Amino acid sequence: MAEESLSTLLEPDVDAGFVVTPYVTDLVDHALAYLQADLPVHFCGPAGTGKTALALHVAAKLKRPIVLIHGDDEFKTPDLVGAEYGFRLKRLRDQYIHSVTKLEEDIVKRWTDNRLTVACKHGFTLVYDEFTRSKPEANNTLLSILEEKLLDLPAGVRQTTTSPFHPKFRAIFTSNPEEYAGIHKAQDALKDRLVTIHVGYFDADTETAITASRSGIAETTPKSSSTWCGRFALSASATNSLCPRIDQNAKV
């Protein structure tokens, strides 16, 4: 069966403007340690804490092409794995003997790999941003991928129903707290397969460094404003305790 790919790859380019402080370095080192042990990492935390930027930065550190997926409530399994899109028609007209005409037609369904399949087959780094915005049933295919390293495909796509799995495949997930609008509760079986790292609001030094980097002004100038913004963010999220911290959900 013919196969094609519907996937856009990102080059593993470490952003020169990415601000690195001891707080950020600690998060990155923890994530890389788990990924190098072939464990998927899940960054969980409130909006605006830099989870996506952190995930892409960690993925770039692995020096493998990056496949980026954004969670969507309309997602179904084919949007991750792939599906049969259209047909391929082959027609043969044989007149080797001029008085005899032989016509032969062959119609083959065209299978197209989607982003998750491409990442698994070629050993790319998957960044699944806000995966809980997708319905849990759409993410069921991740269960066998993360645990047994098997990618199930519909019968007839290949001679076998499992796709070859590259040993360098790695996965990074991000999500917002469950009380946010448009967020689905992830199945326990999937959460148990992830190493969850809670990403909170940055400390004052990190906020100051980011503000100075983006604005181009001296680092001492934005310190008071970043401290005030940090206190406001912390007070707004004081009641948020739905995301487990790293010591509460870590596989070793």
Question: For residue 119, what are the contacts with CB-CB under 8 A and spacing of at least 6?
Answer: 7, 67, 125, 126, 169, 171
The model's pTM: 0.76
Strands 170-175 and 125-129: parallel
pLDDT score of 11: 78
C-alpha to C-alpha distance for 148 and 145, rounded to whole angstroms: 6
Whether the Cβ atoms of residue 130 and residue 73 lie closer than 8 Å to each other: no
pLDDT tens, position by position, 165-190: 899 999 999 999 988 988 999 999 99
Mean pLDDT of successive 10-residue segments in the chain (252 residues)? Answer: 56 77 91 95 92 94 93 91 79 79 80 88 94 94 90 62 79 93 92 93 81 72 54 52 49 44
